[in-house]
Amino acid sequence: MLRALTLPATLSRVLDPLRSCFTAPSFEVFTSLVAGLVAQPVSRTVSGMLTRAGLAGAWQHCRAHRFFSAARPRRV
């Protein structure tokens, strides 16, 4: 289970229209990585995004790397 991340309302409003593009678990990973990307001003790596989102110790790095390498779009 992913640790829940509380996003600012403004960021949630930007990301919510994209919710239908993802499965529920993938959307959780996506929003977490976006939050980490916004908070990571310099080295924009997957590991850096996890660290800045506060998830580096909460779940394995392979989960985020797998999001980019193996995630499939949701079928509509």
**Is 4 a member of any domain?**
no
**Is 66 a member of any domain?**
yes
Query: What pLDDT, on a 0 to 100 scale, did the predictor assign at position 67?
Result: 83
Q: Kindly report the number of other CB atoms within 10 A of residue 17's CB atom.
A: 8
Name the pTM for this structure.
Answer: 0.75
**Is 75 a member of any domain?**
no
Query: What pLDDT, on a 0 to 100 scale, did the predictor assign at position 33?
Result: 86
Quote the number of domains for the chain: 1
**Is 5 a member of any domain?**
no
**Is 55 a member of any domain?**
yes
Query: What pLDDT, on a 0 to 100 scale, did the predictor assign at position 14?
Result: 93
Domain that holds residue 46: 18-70
**Is 3 a member of any domain?**
no
Query: What pLDDT, on a 0 to 100 scale, did the predictor assign at position 4?
Result: 59
Q: Kindly report the number of other CB atoms within 10 A of residue 52's CB atom.
A: 19
Q: What is the pLDDT of residues 42-59, one digit of tens each?
A: 777 888 888 888 887 787
Q: What is the pLDDT of residues 1-39, one digit of tens each?
A: 445 567 888 989 999 999 988 888 888 888 988 888 888
